[in-house]
Chains A and B, each alone.
Chain A
Amino acid sequence: MVRRNLRRSVAAMAALALVAAACGGDDAEEPEGDDTEVEDTEDGAEEEAEEEAGSEEPAEDDAAGEDAEEEAAGIEGCAIEDLALLEAGQLTVGTGDPVFPPWMLNDDPAGGEGFENGIVYALAEELGFAEEDVVWVGQTFEEAIAPGTKPYDFAIQQISVTEDREEIVDFSMVYYQPDKALLALPDSPVVGATSLEELVDAEWGATLGTTDLDYIENIIGAEGVAVFDDQATTFQALLGGNIDATVISFPTALFATAVQIPEAQIVASLPADPNDTGHGLLFEDGNPLVDCIDQGLERIIDAGVVEALTEEYLIGDADVVEITG
């Protein structure tokens, strides 16, 4: 359904371009110039779209002519003025304070550099918001889950979607599912482990509010896991020898070992947790925005934007042991 919408909008743009070319009577380069504007879409879709545009031009013309401008920046039924936004005309987005790479770089969500703010800006563009209409609100994790009115339209903070949580808040579709990494100092007893059983007896630590703790308890099966307030404390405990190892998401581990705690290393990548479905955007329970945001998300995922952002920010060459079970 959404895929079809996408094609139609591409078709509409191509049609518009053709019309423009025909009217202007300029040289044949114009349609190509337009093509670069939709470079995010898959090649197949583009080609198909052009074909469609060529063959169906008369039929589509009317509809395309009307919708084209709005559709090029927006989703049907989700015009900005119709959205139930916190502040009219603005997309108010909650996130952590501070924010951490690689999810957002330079502790500056509005800078647009980073995986999650990259997604938000792509999503905003898809919905037809100008870049300056995206407003960021900093919050702690506790604030994100506190009951009551939320001071934003949605929050993005590597929040994992779970069934329990869904009873209290609403989530968008999952936009990313990170792998888990095993992080430890080089002299830790977990170094060299090749199976999960070898990890059980280590002294574990994790950060409060992460699925890392669930992973250590449920998948590795360790007991007496120390739970720290934030990642900085967990890393300090690791450095101080308080704990032998921790589990964090792979992208975070790449950044952490490069910048925050170069003394530590990614010992291994770990098998996926079947109960961990991945990160979603968090909404106040019953927020009617979810539907439109989901459509937008689906479009940018289909268009390969999320994949490109993943490539850009979350993938690194880590040559590590893979523990599979």
Chain B
Amino acid sequence: MSDERAAPAGPARRAGPRPPVKATLTPRERYLPAAISVVSTVVVFGLLFRVVTSAENWPLIQRQFFNLEAMRESLPAVFSGFLVNMGVWVVALVLIALFGIVIAVFRSLTGPWAAPLRVFAVVYIDLLRGVPSILLVLLFGLGVPALNLPGVTDSRLFWGAMALILGYSAYTSEVYRSGIEAVPDGQRAAAKALGLTQWQTLRYSILPQAVRNVIPALLNVAVALQKDVALLSVIGAREAVREAQIFTARTFNFSSYLVATGLFLLATIPMARLTDWVTRRDQERRLQRTL
């Protein structure tokens, strides 16, 4: 370790004045920062814990929120609800990824013949992105089945999920569009020079680069969607949050909410790490390319 630190000082690496190098760190320099981190963290969280637990109502909160027995009791129901969340999430994710790119392509098409598609994309994004998701879920989940259209399912879950898919597609298409616009104009020019049609340009040149640009942002949307599936509870779907609410309403014990919280974290934290990893890998790859 200390040898390595000394090594770059060799004249072979670079000419010029030697950087100041110390052979070894004193114990003080080596351990003090770590000690300070540990002590300050312990003190801050310890004080926080003390403040919280010294609250007059803490025993009540403990009994109502951190009741292990209630957690165990509510776990099966909340978990079965969580499977509904995950199922809807996976299906929605695929459809959103596809539908979002279609809208984004519509919007980025050029030429007079594509005008209706551009108008459609703009209106679609304005409308569906501008309405709170919960309203979309209520309107689709309760409204569409009430229409009683022939040949159309009246499943609440289907239409509620559809509301999420349509709403999130509007967001996602804007993410894709930002990726498309980030592709340098020279790429289009080059494609044109090669004689590619507009469609071929998109398919083989623009989109692959655009999608790569926005993968971290897309994963971010995926995490948001994972939690927003809980909105389906308003149309009666028995997903994790609703199961937790049912338990709470029945027993006045909020521990079931913590069970749901834990399940969501178990699913979203790996997603967050995956996002970090993908971002880092992408960054490294770009840096290598420019070097």
Chain A residues at the B interface, C-beta cutoff of 8 Å: 141, 145-149, 162, 164-165, 167-169, 205, 208-210, 213-214, 224-229, 233, 236-237, 239-243, 285
Bound complex: CA A121 to CA B248 (Å): 30
Interface stretch, picked from B20-28, B88-96, B233-241, B281-289, is: B233-241
B188 contacts A by Cβ under 8 Å: no
* Contact between A213 and B146, CB atoms less than 8 A apart: no
> Of A141, A147, A228, which contacts B60 at CB under 8 A?
A147
Chain B residues, Cβ within 8 Å of A229: 233-234
* Contact between A168 and B64, CB atoms less than 8 A apart: yes
Contact with A along B99-127 (1 / 0, CB 8 A): 00000000000000000000000000000
- Chain B, residue nearest A145 (CB): B252
Report, nearest first, the 5 A-B pairs whose CB atoms are least far apart.
Answer: A240-B146, A226-B236, A209-B249, A164-B251, A168-B252
- Chain B, residue nearest A166 (CB): B252
* Contact between B156 and A147, CB atoms less than 8 A apart: no
* Contact between B156 and A233, CB atoms less than 8 A apart: no
For residue B66, give the distance in angstroms from its CB to the closest CB of chain A.
11
Instruction: Tell me whether A239 and B238 are in contact in the complex, defined as CB-CB below 8 angstroms, given that A145-B249, A147-B64 are known contacts.
Output: no
Bound complex: CA A237 to CA B159 (Å): 13
Bound complex: CA A213 to CA B251 (Å): 13
Chain A residues, Cβ within 8 Å of B245: 208-209, 227
- Chain A, residue nearest B155 (CB): A242
Bound complex: CA A26 to CA B44 (Å): 81
Give residues 216-273 of B contacting A (CB, 8 Å). Answer: 233-238, 242, 245-246, 248-254
Bound complex: CA A96 to CA B154 (Å): 32
> Of B63, B142, B253, which contacts A236 at CB under 8 A?
B142
Chain A residues, Cβ within 8 Å of B60: 147-148, 285
* Chain B interface, DSSP helix/strand/loop, else mixed: helix
Chain B residues, Cβ within 8 Å of A167: 63, 251-253
Chain B residues, Cβ within 8 Å of A147: 57, 60-61, 64-65, 254
Chain A residues, Cβ within 8 Å of B37: none
Give residues 47-70 of B contacting A (CB, 8 Å). Answer: 57, 60-61, 63-65
For residue A166, give the distance in angstroms from its CB to the closest CB of chain B.
9
* Contact between A149 and B57, CB atoms less than 8 A apart: yes
Bound complex: CA A205 to CA B235 (Å): 10
* Chain A interface, DSSP helix/strand/loop, else mixed: loop
- Chain B, residue nearest A147 (CB): B64
For residue B248, give the distance in angstroms from its CB to the closest CB of chain A.
7
- Chain B, residue nearest A160 (CB): B250
Chain B residues, Cβ within 8 Å of A242: 142, 145-146, 154, 156, 235-236
Instruction: Tell me whether A164 and B154 are in contact in the complex, defined as CB-CB below 8 angstroms, given that A205-B236, A239-B146, A242-B145 are known contacts.
Output: no
- Chain A, residue nearest B143 (CB): A240
Instruction: Tell me whether A169 and B249 are in contact in the complex, defined as CB-CB below 8 angstroms, given that A147-B61, A242-B156 are known contacts.
Output: no
Chain A residues, Cβ within 8 Å of B252: 145, 164-165, 167-169
For residue B240, give the distance in angstroms from its CB to the closest CB of chain A.
13
Bound complex: CA A312 to CA B146 (Å): 36
B148 contacts A by Cβ under 8 Å: yes
Give residues 136-164 of B contacting A (CB, 8 Å). Answer: 142-143, 145-146, 148, 154, 156
Bound complex: CA A146 to CA B61 (Å): 10
Chain B residues, Cβ within 8 Å of A145: 248-249, 252
What are some 26 contacts across the A-B interface (CB < 8 A)? A141-B249, A147-B65, A147-B254, A162-B251, A164-B252, A165-B251, A165-B252, A167-B252, A167-B253, A168-B63, A168-B251, A168-B253, A169-B252, A208-B242, A210-B249, A227-B242, A227-B245, A228-B236, A233-B236, A236-B146, A237-B156, A239-B146, A240-B146, A241-B146, A241-B148, A242-B236
Which of A147, A165, A210 counts the most B-chain CB atoms under 10 A from its CB?
A147
Chain B residues, Cβ within 8 Å of A209: 245, 249
Bound complex: CA A239 to CA B61 (Å): 40
Bound complex: CA A229 to CA B249 (Å): 11
Chain B residues, Cβ within 8 Å of A165: 250-252
Bound complex: CA A146 to CA B145 (Å): 34
* Contact between B64 and A227, CB atoms less than 8 A apart: no
A148-B57, A208-B249, A240-B146 known; 9 new pairs, CB 8 Å cut-off, are: A149-B57, A162-B250, A167-B63, A214-B250, A225-B238, A227-B236, A237-B235, A240-B142, A242-B156
- Chain B, residue nearest A148 (CB): B57
- Chain A, residue nearest B246 (CB): A227
- Chain A, residue nearest B236 (CB): A226
* Contact between B145 and A240, CB atoms less than 8 A apart: yes
Chain A residues, Cβ within 8 Å of B248: 145
Chain B residues, Cβ within 8 Å of A241: 145-146, 148, 154
